[in-house]
């Protein structure tokens, strides 16, 4: 391989890495939209300004425990958005990600969950869900876990 081919290959690699970085930046920027303004501010201070939790607490006039709780909640909200990128980029599924939150038909599933009555069994709900989205989701386990997960947020 001559020097010209080697340089071209390195330029291609640099372009690919830059494209990956731009893609990740866009995904992170889009995912931050799911946070409320207070969470965005704390995430910005923590990861862009590189402040410690104690420094953030002092700056905002809250306790470090509150800062830690807000960061934990923000991470939980961001996890489903970033999990798809991790899955596609590095070909593995991150732990701790709700499968319903990352499901391509999440909005339909959540609408049906909102419409579910107490008298409707999980078996009946599962049949209705299968007809609507064209696939079977293991009711009630995954759906109950999802309901508990979104109620915390």
Residues 82 and 34 in one domain: yes
Where in the sequence is the domain holding 63, given as residue range(s)?
1-95
Tell me what pLDDT residue 59 has.
96
Q: How far apart are CA 41 and CA 114, in angstroms?
A: 31
The band of 4, judged by pLDDT with boundaries at 50, 70 and 90, is: low
Residues 106 and 83 in one domain: no
Residues 89 and 120 in one domain: no
Distances (CA, A) of 19 to 6, 11, 16: 20, 12, 5
Rounded percentage of the chain residues whose pLDDT exceeds 90: 27
Mean pLDDT of 72-91: 79
Place of tokens 């470090």: 64
Distances (CA, A) of 94 to 21, 28, 43, 85, 89: 19, 16, 21, 10, 12
Residues 10 and 85 in one domain: yes
Average pLDDT score over the chain: 81
More confident call, 13 vs 132: 132
Lowest mean pLDDT among 28-37, 41-50, 55-64, 74-83: 74-83
Q: How many domains does the chain have?
A: 2
């Amino acid at each position: 391989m001559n020097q010209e081919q080697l340089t071209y290959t390195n330029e291609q690699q640099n372009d690919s890495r830059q494209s990956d970085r731009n893609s990740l930046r866009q995904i992170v920027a889009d995912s931050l939209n799911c946070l409320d303004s207070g969470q965005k501010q704390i995430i910005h201070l923590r990861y862009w300004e590189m402040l410690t939790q104690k420094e953030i607490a002092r700056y905002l006039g809250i306790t470090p425990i509150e800062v830690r709780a807000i960061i934990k909640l923000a991470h939980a909200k961001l996890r489903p958005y970033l999990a798809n990128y991790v899955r596609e980029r590095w070909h593995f599924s991150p732990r701790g990600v709700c499968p319903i939150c990352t499901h391509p038909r999440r909005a339909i599933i959540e609408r049906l969950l909102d419409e579910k009555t107490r008298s409707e069994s999980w078996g009946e709900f599962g049949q209705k869900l299968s007809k609507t989205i064209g696939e079977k989701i293991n009711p009630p386990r995954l759906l109950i876990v999802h309901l508990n997960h979104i109620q915390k947020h």
